[in-house]
Homo-oligomer: A and B are copies of this chain.
Amino acid sequence: MTYAAYFESRRDEQLNELSDWLKIPSISALSEHKKDVLTAAQWLADTLKKAGLEHIEIHPTEGHPVVYADYLHAPGKPTVLVYGHYDVQPVDPLNLWTTPPFEPNIRDGKLYARGATDDKGQVFMHIKALEAILKEEGTLPVNIKLCIEGEEEIGSVHLPPFLEAHKDLLVADAVLVSDTALLERGRPAICTGLRGLCSMEVEVTTASTDLHSGTYGGAVPNALHALVSLLSSLHDDKGRIAVDGFYEGVPELSQVMREEFAKQGIDEEKIREGLGLSALYGEEGYTFVERVGARPTLELNGVYGGFQGEGTKTVIPKQAHAKITCRLVGDQNPQHILDAIEAHLQSHIQPGAKVHVRQVEKAFAFNSDPSNAFLQLAADAYGKVYGTRALFTKDGGSIPIMESFSRILKAPVVLMGFGLNDENLHAPDEHFNLENFDKGLLTIVEFLKSAGTAELAAE
C-alpha cells in the first residue's frame, strides 16, 4: 500500500482523533485552564503510546509538563528530535468565532478550532506519520525522539532548564519542528530565521482612588492620559521605535538580502486588500516582507483602564494597563530591550503618575544555515510531495525555544511547517487547511526515509 493510500483510508478516523485533542481547551496563559493543559498532555501521551512510540513520560516542570517519547531502533542512523507544543492561545473575543473554538468543525476543506494549525494539528501529523511507517515497515528509518511542551504560547519559560537538565536524553542530530507556514498555498517554505520575543506588562497609577471628573477634572493626573501619552511616545511619526538603544544588534539590510526578500514576490496590494485595510503601515523605508522578516517591532497587545461598560461614566481612573511585546532580530538582547523600554517609560511618565513594569518573556532571535544537509533533505521532501521544492525564508514570528534548542543541543533545527499565514492563528476562527494536513503527512514520511538513507556522517 502506498503511504498516500494508507493515509487516505484512515483520513476520517484520524481527523476525528485530532478533533478529540482540539476539544481540550489547553490555554497555557490562563491559570483556570491548568487542568485542561494537563488533560491535553495526558491525551498526547496516550496517543504516542498507541502509535507505537516508547519510553513515554510526562515530565513535570514548574509550569506545564513536557511530554517525551522515543523509538531508538536504527543504530548507525541519525537521531531526529521532533519538537512541538500542545498548548494553545486564549480565544477572546469569543463572539467573533463562527463556531466555538473548542468544538472542531470542518468547512470548505478547513478544520476550524483553536490549536488546529498552531500547533496541535501539526504535532498530530508527526505522530501519525511515525505510526504509519511503523505499521507499514515494522520499524523507523531513523532514531526518533519527541519533546512536546505545554508552554510555547507563554514563552516556553521552563523548557530551557528542562533541555539543560536532560541534554543526554535529548541529544540528536537534527531537531524537526512543524510550527511555521508555507509561503502561500502550494508554495512550501523552510524558515531559516525567526524573530526573538520579549514582553512586559505596564501599570500606570495616579491617585489612591478613582475620582469624579466634575470635582477634580482638569486639576489631577488621569492614569489613562498618562498611559496613552507614554505609549504614544514609544514610536515616532515614521513608525520607528523611539526608545534609546532599541536598534542595537539589529543588522543593516544588505542589498543582497533585500533582493532575497524580493524573490518571494509578495504582492503588498493583495495583502492589504485581504486584510481589509485602507493602507499597510510600518517603519518607513522597508517593504512588507522586510518589515516582518528583518525588522524588530514593539506592539501594544492590550490596553485597558477606566470604564468599559455601556454608556458614560465621568470617572478619572486611578490606574491603567498595557501589555507590550517586541519581536527581535539579529543580536538584539531581550533583557537589554526590556530594560531600555522600562527606562524610557520611567523617564517619560507625566507628573503625578507612576509607572510599574513587570518584565515577562525574553527570547533571542533564531537563525539557521540553509546549506545544512537536513535542511536540504527537507526541501527535497517537500519537492516530491508538493511538486515544488521548498524556498528558504525568514519568518516574522517567534518560537522562543528554537534558539535554546540550537544552542543547548548543538543540532540544526529544521522548521518544516505546514500552516498558512491566513489561518488566523492567535485570532478568532483559527483553522488548518486539510490539503496541507494530507501533504504534510507524506512530506514527513519522505523526509524521515531520506534522512535514514542519506550519508549524514559529516554532519
Copies per complex of this chain: 2
Q: Mark A175-211, 1 if CB is under 8 A from B, else 0.
A: 0000001000000000000010101000000111111
* Stretch from A69-77, A107-115, A162-170, A229-237 contacting the other chain: A229-237
Q: Mark A311-340, 1 if CB is under 8 A from B, else 0.
A: 111111100110101010000000000000
Within 8 A of B (CB), among A205-226: 206-222, 224-225
- Contacting A310 at CB < 8 Å: which of B30, B221, B299? B30
A90 to B312, CA, bound (A): 9
CB distance from A397 to the nearest CB of B (A): 3
**Cross-chain contact A280 with B210 (CB below 8 angstroms):** no
Total chain A interface residues with beta-carbon distance under 8 A: 98
Q: Mark A20-34, 1 if CB is under 8 A from B, else 0.
A: 000000001111000
* Stretch from A9-17, A123-131, A421-429 contacting the other chain: A421-429
* Stretch from A49-57, A348-356, A405-413, A438-446 contacting the other chain: A348-356
* Stretch from A37-45, A301-309, A378-386 contacting the other chain: A301-309
Question: With a CB–CB cut-off of 8 A, which chain B residues contact A314?
Answer: 197, 199, 299, 301, 325, 398, 426
CB distance from A288 to the nearest CB of B (A): 5
**Cross-chain contact B312 with A301 (CB below 8 angstroms):** yes
CB distance from A304 to the nearest CB of B (A): 4
**Cross-chain contact B283 with A210 (CB below 8 angstroms):** no
- Contacting A277 at CB < 8 Å: which of B31, B206, B307? B206
Question: With a CB–CB cut-off of 8 A, which chain B residues contact A220?
Answer: 275, 277, 280-282
**Cross-chain contact B312 with A29 (CB below 8 angstroms):** yes
CB distance from A332 to the nearest CB of B (A): 13
**Cross-chain contact B301 with A303 (CB below 8 angstroms):** no
Question: With a CB–CB cut-off of 8 A, which chain B residues contact A320?
Answer: 303
- Contacting A425 at CB < 8 Å: which of B155, B215, B231, B297? B215
Question: Would A307 and B92 be within 8 Å (CB), given that A195-B214, A281-B352, A312-B199 are in contact?
Answer: yes
**Cross-chain contact B279 with A221 (CB below 8 angstroms):** yes
A235 to B323, CA, bound (A): 23
A30 to B215, CA, bound (A): 23
Within 8 A of B (CB), among A82-117: 89-90, 92-93, 96
Question: With a CB–CB cut-off of 8 A, which chain B residues contact A351?
Answer: 278-279, 281
**Cross-chain contact A327 with B218 (CB below 8 angstroms):** yes
Question: With a CB–CB cut-off of 8 A, which chain B residues contact A206?
Answer: 277
CB distance from A202 to the nearest CB of B (A): 12
CB distance from A274 to the nearest CB of B (A): 9
CB distance from A285 to the nearest CB of B (A): 12
**Cross-chain contact A427 with B212 (CB below 8 angstroms):** yes
**Cross-chain contact B313 with A426 (CB below 8 angstroms):** yes
Q: Mark A414-435, 1 if CB is under 8 A from B, else 0.
A: 0000000100111111000000
A363 to B411, CA, bound (A): 69
Question: With a CB–CB cut-off of 8 A, which chain B residues contact A181?
Answer: 215
CB distance from A444 to the nearest CB of B (A): 23
CB distance from A296 to the nearest CB of B (A): 7
CB distance from A163 to the nearest CB of B (A): 21
Is A292 located at the chain interface by the 8 A CB criterion? yes
- Contacting A292 at CB < 8 Å: which of B217, B279, B313, B315? B217
Is A154 located at the chain interface by the 8 A CB criterion? yes
Q: Which 9 A-B pairs have the closest CB atoms?
A: A214-B397, A208-B276, A29-B311, A232-B232, A302-B306, A218-B297, A302-B307, A219-B291, A224-B300
Given contacts A209-B424, A221-B281, A278-B354, 12 further A-B contacts (CB under 8 A): A92-B309, A210-B426, A210-B428, A212-B426, A214-B398, A215-B396, A217-B396, A218-B299, A228-B232, A281-B351, A304-B305, A304-B308
In the assembled complex, 20 residue pairs joining A and B whose CB atoms fall closer than 8 Å, in A order, are A90-B313, A208-B276, A209-B427, A210-B424, A212-B425, A213-B301, A214-B395, A214-B397, A215-B421, A218-B295, A232-B233, A278-B351, A281-B352, A302-B313, A303-B320, A311-B360, A312-B323, A313-B323, A313-B426, A314-B398
